[in-house]
Amino acid sequence: MHAAEALLNSAPHRMIELFCLKGRDDKRLNNIINLARKNGITVQFAQRKALDDKAAGEQHQGVVARVQPAPILNENDLDEILDKLNRPAFLLILDGVTDPHNIGACLRTADAAGVDAVIVPKNKSGGLTATARKVACGAAEAVPFIQVTNLARTLKEIQQKGVWVVGTAGEATQTVYQAKLTGPIALVMGAEGEGMRRLTRETCDELISIPMSGSVSSLNVSVATGVTLFEIVRQRQS
- Predicted confidence (pLDDT) per residue in 29-84, tens digit: 999 999 999 999 999 999 999 999 988 877 788 999 998 887 889 999 999 999 99
Q: Name the class of domain 75-237.
A: alpha beta
87, 146, 108: which is closest to 225 by C-alpha?
Answer: 108
Write down the domain spans for the chain. 2-67, 75-237
Give the confidence band of 1 by pLDDT, cuts at 50, 70, 90: confident
Backbone dihedral angles phi then psi of residue 157, each to the nearest 5 degrees = -70, -40
pLDDT at residue 208, as a whole number? 96
The three-class DSSP label of residue 133 is helix
To the question of whether residue 92 is assigned a binding role by annotation, the answer is: no
Segment among 77-91, 197-211, 212-226 with least mean pLDDT: 212-226
Helix-then-strand count for the chain, H and E? 9, 9
Q: Name the class of domain 2-67.
A: alpha beta
pLDDT at residue 131, as a whole number? 83
Write down the pTM of the prediction: 0.85
Do 2-67 and 75-237 have matching folds?
Answer: no
C-alpha pair distances (Å), 205 with each of 155, 166, 208: 10, 6, 10
Tens of pLDDT, residue by residue over 165-208, are: 999 988 888 999 999 999 999 999 998 777 899 999 999 999 99
To the question of whether residue 219 is assigned a binding role by annotation, the answer is: yes
Tens of pLDDT, residue by residue over 96-121, are: 999 999 999 999 999 999 999 999 99
Q: Above 80 in pLDDT, residue 214?
A: no
To the question of whether residue 210 is assigned a binding role by annotation, the answer is: yes
Q: Above 70 in pLDDT, residue 129?
A: yes
Q: Above 80 in pLDDT, residue 161?
A: yes
Neighbours of 229 (CB within 10 A): 23
pLDDT at residue 44, as a whole number? 95
In sign, the C-alpha dihedral spanning 112, 113, 119, 125 is negative
pLDDT at residue 217, as a whole number? 66
Q: Above 80 in pLDDT, residue 124?
A: no
Is-contact 165 203, C-beta < 8 A? Answer: yes
